């Protein structure tokens, strides 16, 4: 079959496909949809392999839902470029496309809220804290979360509140876990802490004091790794660090046994929690977002073909979202 070359859509035309989403929009978030969808199909395949080995019905349910996730994307073209207006997301915790979408939605919404927080509480200062433990077997992860990490974190913040008093104003917590090996994982927590200016005067804690508090709370015989640094209220760096993925994108595809076990272990556990002053502004992090509109404040929320939406369907052969024709 002879392919007619369309200079407006050189890639898709040369390969014989309908125009790609990436040829309509140069936004990084839109271009990523195709690679994330490919990753999601791979994860669905890995979870299916996990189901065949472990026979756990949740793995099959997750695999089926992820496979059917976002087969089509509906965009509106407006003055600021393409805007996603409709899709069918699976909202499975292990789905790369939903994980990335949720992270992007939370990032957009938090960046809208951050100026309000800093204007209403201009005196607050912020610390970015990471608490870690030694690598643990992934098959024991839930037990480690419930029996070790949760009690240790409660002890840690009781000690911290005692040391800092009223200077400790609030926190956002994010759970993250990274692949360590086929049998092990590295769970850790990222925090954005709000403190009053007095912390940097009479209540300031050195690095070793932070680590000692965490070691004491863990009741461990080793010195755990931590990270603690001040972040400016004019810089959203600490906030954005807390909003990173629970599981790194590359870790989704490394090993079907690890991924399946990780999913079963973290099922039912919380990714985010909030407290103090920051709870008022960021409590929404503890709930599933509207994956389309929640970060939009002044946008039109209309749906459907009648509202001039442009549809793209995922083509597995091209590994691209292609315009519906």
Instruction: Give the pLDDT confidence score for residue 1 in this predicted structure.
Output: 29
Average pLDDT over residues 20-46: 92
Query: Measuring CA to CA, how many Å separate 203 from each of 123, 192, 208, 321?
Result: 16, 18, 14, 54
Q: Which helix (H) or strand (E) holds 55?
A: none
What are the structural domain ranges in the chain?
10-287+308-323
Reported as a pLDDT band with limits 50, 70 and 90, residue 245 is: confident
DSSP state of 4: P
Q: Give the tokens for residue 48.
A: 């299916």
Dist CA 234 CA 199 (whole Å)? 18
pLDDT confidence bin for 4, thresholds 50/70/90: very low
Q: For 290-306, what is each residue's pLDDT tens digit? A: 888 777 655 444 444 44
């Amino acid at each position: 079959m002879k392919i007619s070359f369309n200079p407006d859509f050189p890639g898709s035309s040369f390969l014989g496909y309908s125009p790609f989403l990436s040829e309509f929009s140069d936004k990084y978030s839109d271009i990523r949809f195709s690679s994330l969808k490919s990753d999601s199909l791979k994860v669905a395949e890995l979870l299916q392999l996990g189901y065949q080995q472990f026979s756990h019905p949740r793995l099959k349910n997750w695999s089926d839902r992820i496979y059917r996730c976002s087969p089509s994307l509906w965009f509106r073209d407006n003055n600021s470029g393409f805007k996603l207006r409709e899709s069918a997301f699976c909202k499975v915790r292990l789905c790369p496309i939903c994980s990335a979408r949720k992270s992007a939605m939370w990032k957009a919404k938090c960046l809208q809220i951050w100026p309000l927080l800093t204007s209403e509480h201009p005196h607050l200062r912020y610390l970015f804290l990471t608490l870690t433990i030694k690598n643990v077997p992934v098959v024991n992860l839930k037990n480690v979360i419930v029996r070790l990490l949760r009690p240790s974190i409660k002890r840690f913040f009781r000690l911290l509140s005692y040391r800092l008093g009223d200077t400790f104003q609030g926190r956002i917590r994010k759970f993250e876990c990274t692949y360590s090996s086929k049998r092990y994982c590295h769970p850790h927590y990222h925090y954005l802490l709000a403190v009053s200016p007095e912390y940097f005067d009479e209540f300031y804690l050195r690095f070793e004091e932070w680590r000692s508090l965490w070691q004491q709370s863990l009741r461990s015989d080793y010195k755990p790794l931590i990270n603690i640094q001040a972040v400016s209220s004019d810089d959203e760096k600490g906030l954005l660090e807390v909003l990173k993925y629970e599981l790194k994108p590359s870790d989704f595809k490394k090993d079907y046994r690890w991924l399946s076990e990780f999913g079963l272990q973290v099922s039912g556990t919380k990714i985010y929690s909030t407290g103090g002053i920051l709870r008022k502004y960021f409590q929404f992090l503890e709930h599933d977002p509207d994956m389309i509109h929640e970060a939009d404040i002044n946008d039109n929320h209309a749906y459907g073909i009648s509202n001039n939406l442009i549809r793209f369907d995922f083509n597995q052969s091209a590994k691209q979202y292609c315009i519906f024709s």
